[in-house]
């Protein structure tokens, strides 16, 4: 191995400046970042330009200025933005460039936020809420469904729904003698038969 010396006039390749993110992560992670005062929009813009999806919840406020109503958007919680990193964040670079002043940590480890927490911050339903809503919709009887009556004189009968409206259903039942029986009841008094 030979040692070479640099002489005056030699061109030295400079190291590439460090970026705000590094190597790709196996899966994206969300972090809550603390930015300088009144710099939420600027910090989010810089991060978005560098491939980091971020947002901060805003609320609309009306201001009257010289007789004109203006609607302005202000952060709901100041100095906090939420960022989704697909690449490993270089925290020291983010801090040195003044983009952020810190990150929410436990000890010295940044907190990774779950998707349900982010959806709640955005005002969207969480996974559990979406599943509960889908289950409720699945259990609602519609015309053509076969349901079992849970209460009343026809308890245990399996009937066909002919009409459903405003939480009530109308049903029809044909007995062994060909006699058709019709009735109505509340949606909560029946259970669908074809739901697993």
Three-point CA angle 129, 131, 135, nearest 5°:
115
Question: Which H or E run includes 81?
Answer: strand 80-89
CA-to-CA distance for 183 and 190, rounded, in angstroms?
A: 12
Q: Which of 63-72, 100-109, 162-171, 182-191 has the lowest mean pLDDT?
A: 182-191
Instruction: Decide: 46 and 115 in contact? Cβ < 8 Å.
Output: no
CA-to-CA distance for 19 and 46, rounded, in angstroms?
A: 12
The per-residue pLDDT for 148 is 86
The per-residue pLDDT for 196 is 45
Interval 75-93 mean pLDDT: 94
Q: How many CA atoms lie within 13 A of 150 on its CB side?
A: 8
Interval 20-37 mean pLDDT: 95
DSSP category for residue 114? P
Alpha-carbon distance values, 126 to 11, 54, 117, 135, 168 (Å): 57, 19, 8, 14, 29
Interval 13-30 mean pLDDT: 85
The per-residue pLDDT for 97 is 93
Interval 45-56 mean pLDDT: 95
Q: Which of 56-60, 107-111, 126-130 has the lowest mean pLDDT?
A: 126-130
pTM over 0.75: no
Q: Is the pLDDT of residue 129 over 60?
A: yes
Q: What percent of the chain has pLDDT over 90?
A: 47
CA-to-CA distance for 158 and 191, rounded, in angstroms?
A: 9
Interval 129-153 mean pLDDT: 85
């Amino acid at each position: 191995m030979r040692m070479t010396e640099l002489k005056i006039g030699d061109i030295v390749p400079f190291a590439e400046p460090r970026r705000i993110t590094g190597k790709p992560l196996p899966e994206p992670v969300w972090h809550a970042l603390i930015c300088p005062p009144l710099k939420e929009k600027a910090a989010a813009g810089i991060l978005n330009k560098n491939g980091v999806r971020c947002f901060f919840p805003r609320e609309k406020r009306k201001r009257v200025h010289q007789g004109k109503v203006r609607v302005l958007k202000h952060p709901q919680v100041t100095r906090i933005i939420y960022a989704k990193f697909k690449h490993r964040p270089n925290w020291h670079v983010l801090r040195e460039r003044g983009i952020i002043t810190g990150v929410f940590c436990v000890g010295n480890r940044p907190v990774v936020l779950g998707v349900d927490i982010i959806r709640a911050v955005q005002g969207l339903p969480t996974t559990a809420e979406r599943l509960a809503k889908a289950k409720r919709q699945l259990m609602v009887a519609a015309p053509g469904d076969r349901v079992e009556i849970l209460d009343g004189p026809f308890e245990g009968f399996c009937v066909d729904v002919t009409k459903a409206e405003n939480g009530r259903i109308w049903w029809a039942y044909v007995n062994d003698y060909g006699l058709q029986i019709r009735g109505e009841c509340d949606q909560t008094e029946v259970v669908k038969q074809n739901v697993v």
